Amino acid sequence: MRILITNDDGVGAPGIAVLARRVAQWIDENPGNEIREALVVAPATNYSGMSSAVGDVFDHPSVNYRRHTIAGAEGIPTFSLEAPPALCALLGAIGSFDFQPDLILSGINAGANVGRSVLHSGTVGAILTGAQLGLSGLAVSVQWGDDVHYDTAASVAIEVLEHLMAAPSRTLFNLNVPNLPAHLLKGVRRGRISTAGIVKAAGPRAGGEPLGNEGQLPLRLGAATPELGDVSDEAQDDDGALVGSGYASLTLLRGPHEDTDPALDATMQAALNAISRHLESAPEV
């Protein structure tokens, strides 16, 4: 099994170092003499919140890279790219580093990726990108706080990894782990994506003055922030609520795909007919 490791916090972030060291240990613990290899391809700097963006590859059709070494994982080739996580995943997945991965391991992100933040997360965006190429993936995040327990998240991730390997291709997991030592973790539960968002509101503007030609909109952040805000209004099996109560949350995701819901067939046909009528009536140029 060949694993491509990436993240959105950058190649120098502590989370990816802990994860790479745990994967290196997993490689060394190989009981069945199966193929176990790994490669790190991660952004050179922090690209949090970039979702599945690849940047302007048309105006900039080349990517700078640099080789690195992660202490404790010296046997895993490591490269940084001046690119967001999705492009790192893409270039790593198509064999740009003479390595053809079977799945993508993304993280460990410094802060939970729960609720609607999964849409905006670069950690999640990396595995969504890999799925478009047929790869399965696991995004790993840990709740932010003092003395972040990346080691707990890494240990849980390795256990998930074993089962992900046997799953059908394009299987995607989003794993969120509370910031707890391993012995205090209550367990792991299947989590639903909650309605919590990153931005709850913008403003209000002081005194209700009308907007000028320029200025600032102060953001009020919601529960789906790295610190994990108030999740008291979530259901018990929502991802944020699980993490807040001391459980790791594991959620299955699905990347972009055609919507084949029969209930939308009439809407689709009406749109096709309207466009066709417009094209038929358009004057010749």
Domain membership of residue 109 (yes or no) is yes
Collapsing DSSP states into helix, strand and coil, what is residue 141? strand
Q: Cβ atoms within 10 A of the Cβ of 236, count?
A: 10
Instruction: Give the pairing type, strands 136-142 and 219-221.
Output: unpaired
Domain membership of residue 273 (yes or no) is no
Domain membership of residue 265 (yes or no) is no
Residue 86 phi, psi dihedral angles, 5° rounding: -65, -40
Six token digits for residue 276: 């066709």
Number of domains in the chain: 1
89's CB contacts (< 8 A; 6+ apart) are 4, 6, 41, 104, 106, 126, 127, 129, 130
Domain membership of residue 206 (yes or no) is no
Domain membership of residue 174 (yes or no) is yes
- pTM score: 0.90
Quote the radius of gyration of the chain (alpha carbons, Å).
21
C-beta separation of 106 from 127 below 8 A: yes
Domain membership of residue 272 (yes or no) is no
86's CB contacts (< 8 A; 6+ apart) are 50, 51, 52, 53, 54, 122, 125, 126, 128, 129
216's CB contacts (< 8 A; 6+ apart) are none
CATH number where 236 lies: 3.40.1210.10
Domain membership of residue 125 (yes or no) is yes
How does pLDDT run along the chain (285 residues), one tens digit per residue? 899 999 999 999 999 999 999 999 999 988 777 889 999 999 999 999 889 888 888 888 899 999 999 999 999 999 999 999 999 999 999 999 999 999 999 999 999 999 988 999 999 999 999 999 999 999 999 998 889 999 999 999 999 887 898 899 999 999 999 999 999 999 999 999 988 777 776 765 555 667 778 877 777 776 666 667 677 778 899 998 999 999 999 999 998 888 899 999 999 999 999 999 988 887 776
Alpha helix ranges (H) inside 68-149: 85-93, 122-131
Helix (H), strand (E), coil (C) string for 149-207: CHHHHHHHHHHHHHHHHHCCCCCEEEEEECCCCHHHCCEEEECECCCCCCEEEECCCHH
What's the first-to-final CA gap in the chain, in angstroms?
Answer: 58
Pairwise CA distance, residues 40 & 22, whole Å: 13
- β-bridge partners, 251: 174
Residue numbers of the domain that contains 18: 2-193+228-253
pLDDT at residue 162, rounded to an integer: 79
